[in-house]
Structure 1
Amino acid sequence: MSTNHLKILGISGSLRKDSFNRMILREMARHTPEGADVSIFNLKHVPLFNADLEENGDPEAVEDFKESILEADGFLIVTPEYSHGMPGVLKNALDWAASVTNRNVLDKKPAYVLGASPAPLGTALSQAQVKQTLAAAGAFVLQQPELYIGKVPSKIDEAGRLQDDSTKTRLHQAMEAFVEWIETMKGNN
């Protein structure tokens, strides 16, 4: 691992206060290897995408979101799955971030996608859609390890802390792989 301090921006694709995915994102931040930090951006103020709003520059909440992505070395997305797909709030945020009208901040940005769900299969279908959108925007998406956290309510305690040791190990391994990915991609730019 390099000696440069890495900044990772994390978002949850859910706006719910007690979102399982926000809990997992916080857990990922706790599993960040030394030399890297995760900051979390809440998407609740990002307006619905509307190209008319871009004419005079991005709205303030969108500009804040884009600046946070630009300042980060990597982009971490933890997504739920709604009706076998990506949540609208997440698609909306990615549409703003990838819009070329003012600037596409996802181009050449290392990214990693994972997710948690009460369903046994986790968020496989949602993650595929998120990865497709990121790839279309030019992001460098880490494909492995795939991390689908199913039956998540049984893995989290009443305080919102992950209790499942196997999942904790997988989260730690995923963060190590993502940090390595970021460093590799930075070396290729």
Structure 2
Amino acid sequence: MATRPHRLLGICGSLRAHSTNTAVLKALANRMGEHAELQLFALNDIPLYDSDLEADGLPDAVLALKDAISQADGLILCSPEYNYGVSGVLKNALDWASRPDVNSPLRNKPVLIMTSSPGVLGGVRAQAQLRETLNATLSREVVIPGVSQKIQDGQFEDEPTLQFMLASVDQLLGEIDLLGCWR
């Protein structure tokens, strides 16, 4: 009996056209192999969270985000660190996706949290905030310090870091299998 690859959803916490975090996710997507596929979801069209909008009916972009999360076996979030914290665009998307909490597509969804920063800490402070936001989910973390030096012509090129990220993805896939999240 043939099995399909694990479906992973990559969400970048940056809206920049040439985001280093998008480059990281694309590098991972290109190296997934036959065990998993990584689809990227852009947050550009997600409106600011507003409970009035929620009460009137979810915007199409929010419905698309929630559906993409629901269809994924696991998530890979990759965020820059802005002013010692998680990017506003990613926090906003997670706020939309987490509601209502009892029916959230994030509930018990295995998550790999990755942060990057040009500095030596690689976004660890943003990770702390993401862990708080994702308290109801399982998660593991990867930090990427000095990310600007690891991007060449818009491509993530640092093989040791890429190998470390791929090992973390393998652990995420193992977690998905263990928890029976794989459909």
Instruction: Give the ranges of 4+ consecutive aligned residues of structure 1 lying more than 2 Å apart after TM superposition.
Output: 2-5
Map 1:96-115; keep pairs closer than 5 Å. 96-100=96-100, 103-115=103-115
Unaligned runs of 5+ in 2: none
Q: Where does residue 88 of structure 2 map in the other structure?
A: 88
1:174 aligns with 2:168: yes
Shift of 1:45: 0.1
RMSD: 2.0
Shift of 1:165: 2.0
C-alpha contact 2:7 2:72 (8 A) present in aligned 1: yes
C-alpha contact 1:8 1:39 (8 A) present in aligned 2: yes
TM-score, normalisation: structure 2: 0.92
C-alpha contact 1:54 1:102 (8 A) present in aligned 2: no
Equivalent residues, number: 182
Q: Where does residue 151 of structure 1 map in the other structure?
A: 146
Shift of 1:162: 2.1
Map 1:29-44; keep pairs closer than 5 Å. 29-44=29-44
- Structure 1 residues 101 and 140: CA distance shift in structure 2, 3 A: closer
Looking at secondary structure, tell me which structure has more strand per residue.
2
Deviates more, 1:17-26 or 1:147-156: 147-156
1:100-132 CA distances to partner (integer Å, 9 max, x unpaired)?
Answer: 189411111111101221111101010111111
C-alpha contact 1:98 1:106 (8 A) present in aligned 2: yes
- Identical pairs, percent: 36
Map 1:27-66; keep pairs closer than 5 Å. 27-66=27-66
Q: Where does residue 131 of structure 2 map in the other structure?
A: 131
C-alpha contact 1:31 1:175 (8 A) present in aligned 2: no
1:36 corresponds to which letter in structure 2? Answer: A
Counterpart secondary structure, 1:22: helix
- Structure 1 residues 43 and 187: CA distance shift in structure 2, 3 A: closer
